[in-house]
Amino acid sequence: MSTNTPPQPDGQRRPLSRTLPDPWGPDDGGGAGQPGTPAAGPRPGSPAARRTIEQPVPGSSRRGAGAPRGRGGSRVTAGTGAGGVGEALSYDVLRLSGVRGSDSALARTLGALVGGDPDAQRLPELAALAQAPVATGRRVAVFATRGGAGATTTAALLARFFSAARPDRVAVLDAAEEHGSLGLRLGVAGGRPGPATLAGLLPATTGGNLPTAEELDGLLGHAAQNLAATASPGADAADQAHEVPGSLLREACATISRYFALTIVDCPTGIRRPATGAALADAHAAVWVVPGTLSGVEDALARLAGPTLRGLAASGRLLVVVAQQDRAAPVPTAVHARRFNELGYEAHALGYDAHLAAGARIRAGLLGAERRTALAGLAARVLDVANAAPASAPSAAPRSGRRA
């Protein structure tokens, strides 16, 4: 298989640099404006950021302090206007974006003893694997069969990691039918004027239309210098949120992936959704996010009997991610993941992380050390699976009237 980079619109091929940037550096990309624009405010993790985020609000308790309150107990938020999905980050979101993920007691103990991350030596190796060249643009579909499993968080994490570890360009598309949160997680604000939603990209990317790189770049938002993203549906109250038809989504993804080394699609919940089925049909790798609960895992194991998931697994394109949402979960995600592995399905565990649980903009540098290593390992395997798939991935779209 060729190991060249994907052809650029100008016809040139650019070799990948073997110099690895720090995926967990102090700046994980620009804000919700132009590429490379640093986010406003102190750098996350700096003393100034800790003073801003971690100090309790005067007159309130440390636990559940929330935003400052004015006279009469009314909440005081930054900026003007009512807050909404995809709008400028308010005080609460800015505060939560700085929550640092915690490590296990063992990891903290080892860190105190050896003076650093116990898995620090693995991170460069995994980052090197995630920087492997691609022959053509690879498409990755991230989906869940239950709401709240963490699919959007996983899609945002993969996009952040790939854009930090690779020198080429990465795109991430929010295919939610209404009120998606991918833009919020990446810091890409919606509204008008602003980046287009996936539905807003259809006129320029379907019907035989092929935009120039500059035209497409002007329609997308930028979460980092080399990370482009659509706005999330529902970011603007005037938007009529609706699910993108499957046939149009396939055509749009095929067009967009011509300009990016990796295109990640955050699918609507449920594999019976037309958009989800379309994304899975053309994906070179499919990441199935399963909630790390007993009921979530049992439901997922039952669904593996359906033709869609069984077909994805047989093609070697399916990766399972067991995501823990509860800090006090009685069964570790590694135990749940082992159940899938013992049945022949590749599964990865993504443990609880306070920064991710905050639900605000993701800053990779604030993740706990264990989650950093787990994410790097997952990203390396996603790229490996995507590169092993043929240029035209075999269809695995669910058939109507059959169990999925």
pLDDT at 381: 96
- 197 closest CA partner among 155, 159, 240: 240
Segment (H or E) for 128: helix 122-130
- Determine if the pTM surpasses 0.85: no
- Asked if residues 297 and 283 have their Cβ atoms less than 8 Å apart, the reply is no
Dihedrals phi, psi of 289, to nearest 5 degrees = -95, 120
Look at the block and give the residue holding tokens 């709008």: 87
- pLDDT at 119 (0 to 100): 58
- Looking at residue 364, its pLDDT comes to 75
- Rounded CA-CA distance 348/331 in Å is 15
Percent of the chain residues topping a pLDDT of 90: 44
pLDDT digits (tens, 9 = 90+) for 350-360: 999 888 888 88
At 184 the pLDDT is 87
Q: d(Cα 226, Cα 28) in Å, to the nearest integer?
A: 11
- DSSP, residue by residue, 35-96: TTPBPSSSPTTSHHHHHHHHSPPTTS-STT--S-B-GGG-B--SSSS---TTSS--HHHHHH
**What are the chain's domains?**
105-388 (3.40.50.300)
Could you report the per-residue pLDDT of 209-265, keeping only the tens digit for each?
999 999 999 999 999 899 999 988 765 544 555 678 889 999 999 999 999 999 999
Task: Kindly tell me if the per-residue pLDDT of 29 is higher than 70.
Answer: no
